[in-house]
Amino acid sequence: MAAILERNGKYYAQFYDEARSPNRKRFSLKTTRKRKARRRTTKFESDYLEGKFDPWVDDPWSYDQEKYDPVGIQVAMDLFLTRKREANRTDNTIRTYREVIGLLIGEVGASTLLGQISTGQLRDFVRDSSLAKATQRKRYGHLRTFLRWCTAEKLVRKNRLGDVSQPEKPNKLPKAIFQDELTRLCEVVKKGYRRKRKKNWIRKRELIWRIPLFRFAFYTGMRGSELARLRWNHIDFEKELIYIREQKNRKEQTIPLNRKARAVLGDVKQESPTGYVFQSPNFEDGERNPKWFRENAANAFRKAREEAGLREELSFHSLRHGFCTKLAEAGKSAVVIKEAARHADISTSMRYVHMANEQLKAEVEGAF
């Protein structure tokens, strides 16, 4: 059994066993209060009798803690990405995690144990002053998910990123395209099509399919990858619904097929029920790579934007921003915008409401 000793106002526990060497083992109870010393000694005695604690061998302050398997950050990243693939995360999501964690590995070294990475190193990496606020938040968010997973999997004892405050959110409004800009964009595509057709540089409808794509994106707010996957049998004309089979979050959902979007589809030739809605004439039936389609659409948008002399800040994703902005300008609430655009967080939807309010304020000021 253990005895409690008091020396200079501090308490110690002392175990005795004549068969051990030395036959007495003493350690501090880390308290100056007798009642707390008794409680701690009672626990040590109980664990000693149950064989959980040996004062001659174990550290009295860590013997009952969970066991951890320290690994290098490179190994941890590989395990993490494997789990993400098993959870059916998108290729883009996995690529971004690899990019962010890979940059940290480049700074601390691939063989560095997770537990050896200091709070200061994480803070310097996340809050690099040469980075934009959005990039800082991206690093913080992805590292937070990664290190939380490592902590839950007992690859590291403490998530030191928890001691680093999240970078401030950049106060940027969405880069939305407006109706008149969309009209100018489509006119440029039409002129380019006519010009190239006259010279027999392209086949019939080879470029004109981009106009319905741009307009449909504006009237539905669908993401590029969702438009890439959209097939005719995903559209229910009777119920006026569009079935989003694979969203950013991998979940299925329906959105309304509004009158404007339906009218756009009237200009698109349907090849087969299972065929893709938006495709060039030289596309061969089969599976397509959504990433390539999105990039091709983005390049086509950029070229048309440049020729139309529109704002450089506009991108293909601005069509989705334009959809949300239209709703906000019509007085729709952030809740409605969130449901229509399928935002994960209502704070994203609120940005469009703020932007509409700023536009209204500017127009009122202009009137006077």
Any domain includes 67: no
Question: What are the pLDDT digits (tens) for 172-191?
Answer: 778 899 999 999 999 999 99
Q: Tokens 């004549």 sit at which residue?
A: 18
Is residue 17 situated within a structural domain?
yes
As given in the structure block, the two tokens for residue 212 are 């319905």
Q: What is the 3-state secondary structure (H, E, C) of the chain?
A: CEEEEEECCEEEEEEECCCCCCCEEEEECCCCCHHHHHHHHHHHHHHHHCCCCCCCCCCCCCCCCCCCCCCEHHHHHHHHHHHHHHCCCCHHHHHHHHHHHHHHHHHHCCCCEHHHCCHHHHHHHHCCCCCCHHHHHHHHHHHHHHHHHHHHCCCCCCCHHHHCCCCCCCCCCCCCCCHHHHHHHHHHHHHHHHHHHHCCCCCCCCCCCHHHHHHHHHHHCCCHHHHHHCEHHHEECCCCEEEECCCCCCCCEEEECCHHHHHHHCCCCCCCCCCECCCCCCCCCCCCCHHHHHHHHHHHHHHHHHHHCCCCCCCCCHHHHHHHHHHHHCCCCHHHHHHHHCCCCHHHHHHHHHHHHHHHHHHHHHHC
**Structural domain of 219:** 179-367
Q: What is the token pair recorded at 342?
A: 């399928």
Q: Which two tokens stand for residue 364?
A: 């009122």
167, 233, 256, 288, 331 from 239: Cα distances, Å: 45, 13, 9, 27, 26
Q: Which residue has the tokens 């940005």?
A: 351
For residues 149 and 201, state if they share a domain: no
In sequence order, the β-bridge partners of residue 116 are: none
The CA-atom distances, in angstroms, between 291 and each of 150, 226, 273 are: 30, 10, 23
Round to whole Å and give the CA distance between 290 and 307: 26
My answer on whether 203 and 314 are in the same domain is: yes
Asked whether residue 249 carries a pLDDT value surpassing 60, the answer given is: no
Alpha carbons 13 and 45: distance in angstroms, whole number: 10
Predicted local distance difference test score (pLDDT) of residue 205: 65
Tokens found for residue 132: 């934009």
Is there a single domain that holds both residue 200 and residue 298? yes
Residue 68, in any domain of the structure: no
Q: What are the φ and ψ backbone dihedral angles of 343, each rounded to 5 degrees?
A: -70, 145
Do 317 and 228 fall within a single domain? yes
> pTM, whole model, 2 decimals?
0.60
Q: Is residue 169 part of a domain?
A: no
AA identity, residue 304:
A
Do 201 and 147 have their domain in common? no
Q: Are residues 128 and 9 in the same domain?
A: no
Residues 32 and 132 in one domain: no
Return the CATH number at 231: 1.10.443.10
79-131: per-residue pLDDT in tens?
999 999 998 888 888 999 999 999 999 999 998 998 899 999 999 999 998 98
For β-strands 10-16 and 24-28, DSSP reports them as antiparallel
Same domain, 223 and 356: yes
CATH of the domain at 156: 1.10.150
On whether both 210 and 343 belong to a single domain, the answer is yes
| pLDDT tens readout for residues 138-152 | 999 999 999 999 988
Q: How does pLDDT run across 189-245, given as a tens digit for each residue?
A: 999 888 888 888 877 766 678 899 999 999 999 999 999 999 999 999 999 999 997
Q: How far apart are CA 40 and CA 34, in angstroms?
A: 10
Q: Give domain status of residue 260, yes or no.
A: yes
pLDDT tens by residue, 296-346:
999 999 999 999 999 999 999 999 999 999 999 888 999 999 999 988 888
For 233-259, give one letter per residue: b (16+ CB within 10 A) or e.
ebbeeeeeebebebbeeeeeeebebee
Same domain? For 196 and 330 the reply is: yes
Mean pLDDT of 339-360: 83
Task: Report if residue 38 sits inside a domain.
Answer: yes
Q: Return the number of other C-beta atoms located less than 10 Å from residue 352's C-beta.
A: 26
**Domain total of the chain:** 3
Instruction: Please give the structure tokens belonging to residue 222.
Output: 């669908």
User: So what's the pLDDT on residue 104?
Assistant: 95
Residue 283: CA atoms inside 13 Å, Cβ hemisphere, count?
20
* Whether 338 and 192 share a structural domain: yes
**Boundary (domain end) residue, out of 163, 198, 229:** 163
Residue closest to 265 by CA, chosen among 326, 198, 311, 219: 219
User: Is residue 119 situated within a structural domain?
Assistant: yes
Last residue of a domain, one of 128, 163, 198: 163
Asked whether residue 263 is assigned to any structural domain, the reply reads yes
For residue 368, what are the contacts with CB-CB under 8 A and spacing of at least 6? Answer: none
Which residues face 350 on adjacent strands? none
Q: Cβ–Cβ contacts within 10 Å for residue 338, how many?
A: 19
Of the candidates 222, 218, 214, 221, the residue with the CA atom closest to the CA atom of residue 190: 214
The answer on 275 and 333 residing in a single domain is yes
